[in-house]
């Protein structure tokens, strides 16, 4: 699977994981400030942004597997993960399954079920969940213009 990403700055690795139906541009207003302290990576997941769609469903587990591959082959050391919305769910799965790859985990606007004190009902959190994402693209308004694609990595 070919996955697009960009990187900025130097320092400890920080991976920013966008939400569903979005892409790495979500974090654009924060990149310069973060890059002053961190080596910032902004990968785009399957069917999002520069990364192509794939046949079949896109599940949280597949996206977690892709992220694990990205951390192992591109980042190459434990990283801080910051996930927004669906990116928070994927980051959580990565941290649960491969804690040695995650130094710190920040989850922004991941769904929370207060009655059960979990992020989602337990059946949806398990790694065997059949939850899929639709690759809706209609009505998405870009936050800023794309720069030319800089990097692409085959996972």
Residue 134: predicted pLDDT? 27
Whether this prediction's pTM lies above 0.85 is answered by no
Closest CA to 79 of 3, 7, 151: 7
Query: Which burial class, exposed, middle or buried, applies to 32 when counting CB atoms under 10 A from its CB (0-12, 13-18, 19+)?
Result: exposed
Where does the chain show beta strands of DSSP type E? 2-5, 7-8, 12-17, 38-41, 58-59, 79-84, 102-108, 132-133, 151-154
Domains of the chain: residue spans and CATH: 2-134 (3.40.50.1820)
Residue 93: predicted pLDDT? 93
Residue 44: predicted pLDDT? 87
Low-confidence ranges of the chain (pLDDT < 70): 1, 111-155
State pLDDT tens for residues 51-73.
778 888 888 999 999 999 999 99
Distances (CA, A) of 24 to 60, 96, 122, 129, 134: 18, 23, 29, 26, 18
């Amino acid at each position: 699977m070919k996955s697009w990403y960009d990187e900025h700055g130097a320092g400890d690795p920080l991976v920013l994981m966008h939400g569903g139906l979005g892409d790495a541009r979500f974090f654009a207003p924060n990149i310069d400030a973060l890059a002053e302290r961190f080596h910032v990576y902004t990968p785009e997941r399957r069917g999002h942004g520069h990364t192509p769609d794939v046949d079949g469903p896109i599940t949280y587990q597949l996206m977690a597997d892709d992220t694990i591959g990205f951390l192992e082959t591109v980042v190459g050391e434990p990283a801080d993960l910051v996930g927004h919305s669906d990116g928070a769910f994927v980051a959580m799965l990565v941290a649960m399954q491969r804690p040695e790859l995650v130094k710190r985990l920040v989850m922004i606007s991941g769904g929370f079920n207060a009655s059960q004190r979990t992020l989602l009902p337990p059946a949806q959190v398990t790694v065997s969940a059949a939850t899929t994402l639709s690759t809706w693209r209609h009505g998405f308004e870009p936050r800023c213009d794309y720069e030319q694609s800089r990097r692409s990595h085959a996972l």
